Amino acid sequence: MRKLIPILLAICLIFTALPFAQAAPRFSDVPTNFWAYKEISYMAQKGIIEGYNGKFRPNSQITRAEFAKIMVAAAELDISRNLAQTFQDVPRSHWAFPYVESAKPYLTGYKSGSRYTYKPNDEAVREDIAVALVRLLGYDRTKKADLDDLDDFKDRSKISDNLRSYIAIAVDQDLIKGYNGYFRPQDPITRAEAASLLYRAILERDDDDDDKNDNGEKVVFPSPKPAALSISDNFSDNQLSKWDRDAANARWQVINGRVTAFSADDDAEHFFLPLDYDQSDKPENYQLQVDLIAQGTNGLGGLYFNGDGDDATVVFLTKDKINVGKVTDSDKDDVKIIATHSYQLRSSNQIRIEVRDDDFKVYVNGVFVLEQKNQDLDEDELGLYLQREAIEHLPQRITYFDNFTFKEL
């Protein structure tokens, strides 16, 4: 879905540069001075919305089934041929079945016991549309709701309890507005409003007293889970393309399919090779792993995480220990040791770190050895770590890294 929004954005920008009269269907009830003329014309031009015998009926209210259809078309959501039926009132024979099921992750439904209904013929209301836009854009995963934003509305109590976080995000992101101090969450939206809201959401960006009744409580279905983050490197690429070499404080080089550091900084005592990834995507729970090969050295290398410039949490091997420490200045040779565990260094050693929220565990060769809880792990930089002493006898003695992985847990 995230890939679709930039595509739609580009398309929108192209077509908004053209006169709408060139190709857009003209509706007799949508004159050029109509407040939503541009949005309706664009949507009609793209085949997202249709009229009725030359009229659009902009002020007619839109049903929940109709909104599902235009949202699927606007966002170019895939419609599978093998959709299972979720809602008792939207059977396979219903004209809107494929649209409702395809849009289910973004729309509200109703649950009563184990029974789900969609109410396809009910009017789509403002809080329904706000939820759909927030989830369509992925803001429910990337934005934090501030419920205090709803205090500006005198009718806050009419917003469904379990939808308030979505409404707060929608208001904060300017996806939908209130009217004179009221949000009017249960007001139906018109066809013109639906076209305008979808158009604005797609173009400008990379439900209630009826909710709790005999027909069930309004619920939100889970968003599609994004693909789990996973980056691996066996260092077959001599260019180290997965790493931020410009931010490294040493010269890192691949030798025979393994990587090590050669210092170009006489003052540096600790060498960091940061992984080049979008740090805003760093998951709360993740795993780091690497093989450390000690050829005549005492290891003196491993992984680092929770990094910010010269400041990082490091996990490294020495001749007879696995160590967890804190480096606060790469030019000073001291490491503030947090924890250690006895370990006899081998020629090949696998180090694994599992981070879960504010806790982390350390494994060596698949065996759990250390755990730290309630740590401050707010920083996002991570990668390979090596101490200067490990390179002082090159090329006779050398510490290599191989088979790195970083993945979401």
Q: Which of 220, 248, 271 is the last residue of a domain?
A: 220
Q: Are residues 239 and 272 in the same domain?
A: yes
- One domain, residues 162 and 240: no
207 and 159 housed in the same domain: yes
Indicate whether 359 pLDDT > 90.
yes
Q: What is the identity of the amino acid at 217?
A: E
Residues 176 and 239 in one domain: no
Residues 38, 93, single domain; the answer is: yes
What is the pLDDT at residue 177?
87
**Taking Cα atoms as reference points, which of 172, 408, 156 lies closest to residue 288?**
408
Tokens of 322: 């696995």
pLDDT the model gives residue 136: 86
CATH of the domain at 234: 2.60.120.560
Residues 75 and 178 grouped into a single domain: yes
Does one domain contain both 282 and 172? Answer: no
The owner of tokens 């759909």 is 132
pLDDT 10s digits, 198-224:
887 765 543 333 333 445 666 665 555
The confidence score (pLDDT) of residue 52 equals 85
* Domain end residue (candidates: 220, 242, 258): 220
- Tell me which range, 46-50, 100-104, 180-184, 360-364, is most confidently predicted by mean pLDDT: 360-364
The verdict on residue 29 lying in a domain is yes
Determine the pLDDT at residue 226.
58
Kindly state the average pLDDT of the residues 267-282: 88
Q: Summarize the confidence of residues 400-405 as an average pLDDT.
A: 95
87 with 203, same domain: the answer is yes
Size of the chain in residues: 409
Residues of the chain with pLDDT > 70: what percent?
A: 87
Q: Residue 57, CB half-sphere, CA atoms under 13 Å: how many? A: 9
Specify whether 383 is located in the same domain as 278: yes
- pLDDT of 313 strictly over 90: yes
Query: Does 199 map to a domain?
Result: yes
Mark whether 199 and 285 lie in a shared domain. Answer: no
| Whole-number pLDDT of residue 227 | 61
Q: What is the mean pLDDT of residues 275-296?
A: 91
Position 279 pLDDT exceeds 90: no
User: What is the pLDDT, as a whole number, of residue 23?
Assistant: 46
Which range has the top average pLDDT, 149-153, 209-213, 368-372?
368-372
Concatenating the DSSP letter of every residue in 96-121 gives THHHHHHHGGGSEEEEETTEEE--TT
Count of the separate structural domains present in the chain: 2
pLDDT at 63: 94
Task: Dump pLDDT digits (tens) for 112-139.
Answer: 888 899 999 999 999 999 998 998 888 8
Based on the fold, state whether residues 146 and 238 are members of the same structural domain.
Answer: no
96 located within any domain: yes
225 belongs to a structural domain? no
Structure tokens at 20: 């709408």
Per cent of the chain over pLDDT 90 is 50
383 vs 237 pLDDT, higher one = 383
Q: Is the pTM of this model over 0.75?
A: no
Residue 352: what pLDDT?
97
Residue 229 confidence class, pLDDT cut points 50, 70, 90: confident
pLDDT by residue (tens digit) across 73-98? Answer: 888 888 877 788 999 999 999 999 99
How far from 340 is each of 102, 206, 300, 321, 390, CA to CA, in Å?
Answer: 52, 45, 14, 6, 19
Among residues 193, 220, 247, the one where a domain terminates is 220
Decide if 310 contacts 326 (C-beta within 8 A): no
- Structural domain contains residue 268: yes
Statement to judge: residues 292 and 390 lie in one domain = yes
Q: Which of 169, 180, 188, 76 is nearest to 130 (CA)?
A: 169
- Which of the four pLDDT bands, split at 50, 70 and 90, describes residue 162? confident
131: containing domain? 4-220
pLDDT at 64: 93
Q: What is the pLDDT of the chain when averaged over all its residues?
A: 85
Residue 388 falls inside a structural domain: yes
Has residue 120 been placed in a domain?
yes
- Kindly indicate the confidence band of residue 11, based on its pLDDT and cuts at 50, 70 and 90: very low
Q: Kindly indicate the confidence band of residue 264, based on its pLDDT and cuts at 50, 70 and 90.
A: low
